[in-house]
A and B are shown apart, each in its own frame.
Chain A
Amino acid sequence: MSVIRLGYVHIRVTDLARARAHYADTLGMDVVAEEANRVYLKSWDEDDHHSVVLEEGGVGLVKFGYKVTGADSLADLENRVAAFGATSVRMSKGDNVGIGDGLRVTLPSEHTLELYADVEYLGTKVGKLNPDPWPRDGIRGIGVPRINHALITAEDPAQLERFFELALGFRPAERLVGGDEPDDLVGSWMFCGENPHDIAFVKGPNGKLHHFAHQIDDWSALLRAGDVMSMDDVPIDFGPTRHGITRGGTIYFFDPSGNRNEVFSGGYRTGPDFRPITWTMDQAARGVNYTHREIDQEFLSVVT
């Protein structure tokens, strides 16, 4: 499999200064580059140039990027995307700050997904030689170590699942189905490495973002993250609680423009031989919020 993981999420924000304060001071990311209307940030345990880009004006997803193993896989992916009938264009080094040549794909769900192998290396805050487990002088707020996954909405989840499987080499870990037909797909959680999910999507409008998530260590880190959210008056969607789907611990919350964020902990290990898990709609509330077994109808429809 040539796609490694989610590299970056590039979102719109209504107020750049407030958004910057949220991602830098509440989540604890570091600003690595700035342009007139954009801020680039990286988490402390990430090597690559950035994992979040904030762009002033509006809300929602501009695009997101997945890192691939090398230039060869880019050529191979380009062919597979074309064979599927989807469109892509080559992007050049410098189109994105810190990111090299790559492929800009328009998904069947109208989202823009960028694939790249080459990215400027900045290194983690603890380094690679006899490192400390976390940066002694460098944690702010929650101190998220790294980005983990994104969940988007699509009018035709079955088609998007086929695309991620055939064109990009992802596999489904968990599938939410509407009826008796396995093809009546409401949502799919797919992986490219050994995570329970690197991308997920549920039925909804094309081109929209449901949330993107940072991974944190464990349940106690989750609870501490909740403390920081209370201190900083961050609106909570729900949590801390456990997901049935992925088995992860979670808090869903909103950034100052109303884009949904998540801190996510745990989850099991998958791999090429993992057999997908099925959830039925009557158990969907337990799938999303295993502890409470009840979710607002709006949880699935609130997107930016």
Chain B
Amino acid sequence: MPIITVHPAAVRVVAPPGRTIVESLRLAGWRSRYACRRGGCGTCKAPLLRGRVTYEQPLAESVLTAAERSAGLCLPCRAVPVDDIVIAQGEHSLRPILASSPCPPRPPFPEE
């Protein structure tokens, strides 16, 4: 699985298949800078220093312009790492959290 490294904190987490940068960090106990987590507000925008990401859902051009993308910015709440990546965050932008991701679907009842 790809490794996400966050500078300058040098935090390293794995990116489970199909998970965005923000989700992978949350699963590993880190809150990065974000607000909507749905690609709408641009709060999470960050320099992608190394590696490649893909976007599995459509992006709004007004949130991350083509020019910003070619200048090396990514949208971590939508960006899914393709290989090992390095992104930059502000000095104090990561804070430890305990976050729950959605529950998997429950088995039908009664369960034999």
Please give the residue numbers on chain A whose beta carbons come within 8 Å of chain B beta carbons, in ascending order. Answer: 12, 14-15, 18, 58-60, 233, 235, 237, 254-260, 296, 298, 302-304
Contact = CB atoms under 8 A, between A and B. Distances in A.
Contacts of A60: 40, 60, 62
Interface of B: 35-41, 43, 57-63, 101-102
Interface of B is mostly: loop
A302 B62 contact: no
A58 B41 contact: no
24 contacts: A14-B40, A14-B59, A14-B60, A58-B60, A58-B62, A59-B63, A60-B40, A60-B60, A60-B62, A233-B102, A237-B35, A254-B36, A254-B37, A254-B38, A255-B38, A257-B39, A257-B60, A258-B39, A258-B40, A258-B63, A296-B35, A302-B36, A302-B43, A304-B40
B39 A14 contact: yes
Given A14-B58, A237-B35, A298-B35, A304 B41 contact: yes
Given A58-B62, A59-B62, A60-B62, A15 B57 contact: yes
A235 B40 CA distance: 12
B40 A257 contact: yes
Given A15-B57, A235-B36, A258-B37, 9 more contacts: A14-B39, A15-B58, A58-B61, A59-B40, A254-B37, A254-B40, A256-B38, A260-B41, A304-B41
Nearest to A14: B58
A239 to B, nearest CB: 14
A233 B40 CA distance: 16
Contacts of B101: 233
Contacts of A254: 35-38, 40-41
Please indicate which of the listed interface residues A12, A257, A303 has the most CB atoms of chain B within 10 Å of its own CB. A257
Contacts of B39: 14, 59, 257-258
Contacts of B102: 233
Contacts of B60: 12, 14, 58-60, 257-258, 304
A301 B58 CA distance: 23
B58 A260 contact: no
Contact of A259 (B40, B58, B61, B62): B40
